Amino acid sequence: MTPALRIISPGLSTTIQDVGRSGFQRLGVSVSGALDPVSLHAANALAGNPGNTGALEALYVGPTFAIDTDDTRLAFAGADAVIEILHNADARGGEIIPTMQSVRVRRGQVIRVGSLKNGATLYIAVEGGFAVAPALGSVSTDSRGKMGGWQGRPLVEGDIIPLRRATATERDEYRIDDLDLAAPRRFRAVLGPQNDNFSDQEIERFFASEYTVSAGSNRMGMRLEGQAIRHVRGFNIVSDAIATGSIQVPGSGQPIVLLADHQTTGGYPKIATVISADLPALGRLPIGSRVSFAPITVEEAAAARRELCATVDGIAGKMVRLATPAAAVAARLLECNLISGVQDAAA
């Protein structure tokens, strides 16, 4: 039998994502890829994979799935969540682990990932990765283009996602404690490309305002609510290309930050573009968060990108061997304020 994960419940919206497919935007193909590539890299490092291996990206509510292989290694990184490991589908309670660690699981066990806390995204990597065919060099799911990932769509109940490896490597488990996933005080952005469509006053107003991430947000765009921004020459422009992180201002004046699944082209003026180094933190920001923006130069942004690359390169060095004393795990769960109500199940 093919080694696989069997999806019992997909969660709110769970897709396979790697770092995306660039190089085909001129053909109308979106880049897609992980909203938070830093956490994707962390999950892969814990699982023993190259950092850009495709993993499950869960949004807000995690999936529940069964292990259909002798044994395998999973790793969870990103938002906090209660992860329950049940001995079988009928078990009433099981072992509970936090995120930011790897765990070895075996055939028949059921992994139940709860609601995410302190973040919108959680990455679930499996050692060796998923045995899905890349589309244009990437296994990222592009739901609009119906390609990549698992059948070009978010997972649904009953999906059986094949794995590349049937067994886990013999080794210890690891955790990462000190990866800084906190949101910056202000997200840094480069002015443009259509800042000419806004007066200096409106641009100042935009950077001085605080916005709330609204419920209409998705993998295509983060919709913000707050101070409306007025255009000087109307809100329709002849379509041009879109970069990830660009902040477009439609007729309503409420900005939308374009994220991984954005269309390749569009026709609203873009006042500024969030720098690449701040996109992972933006991608993991949940609905209801408050955000504001700070203008910086392209040169400063390149320095920030260099720092982000150093952070990603340093992830493997932050891994510490998991000693597995139950008390340590419980302490970490308490710290995350996560075990109220599930203590009995864990007992």
| Interface residues toward another protein, by CB under 8 A | 22-29, 135-136, 144-147, 152, 189-194, 237-246, 263-265, 270, 273-277, 298-299, 301-302, 304-306, 309
Nearer to another protein, 258 or 329 (CB): 258
CB of 335 vs another protein, minimal distance in Å = 36
Report which residue type is found at 219. Answer: R
Backbone φ and ψ of 124, nearest 5°: -120, 105
Nearer to another protein, 11 or 269 (CB): 269
CB of 283 vs another protein, minimal distance in Å = 14
CB of 193 vs another protein, minimal distance in Å = 4
CB of 40 vs another protein, minimal distance in Å = 18
CA distance 296 to 279: 15
CB of 249 vs another protein, minimal distance in Å = 15
Find out whether 96 and 41 touch, Cβ atoms under 8 Å. Answer: no
Nearer to another protein, 35 or 301 (CB): 301
Find out whether 84 and 139 touch, Cβ atoms under 8 Å. Answer: no
Find out whether 191 and 227 touch, Cβ atoms under 8 Å. Answer: no
Is beta strand 187-191 parallel, antiparallel or unpaired with respect to 293-295? Answer: parallel
Nearer to another protein, 61 or 247 (CB): 247
CA distance 347 to 345: 6
As a 3-state breakdown, the chain gives helix, strand, coil percent values, each rounded to 5, of: 20, 30, 50
Nearer to another protein, 238 or 327 (CB): 238
Find out whether 270 and 154 touch, Cβ atoms under 8 Å. Answer: no
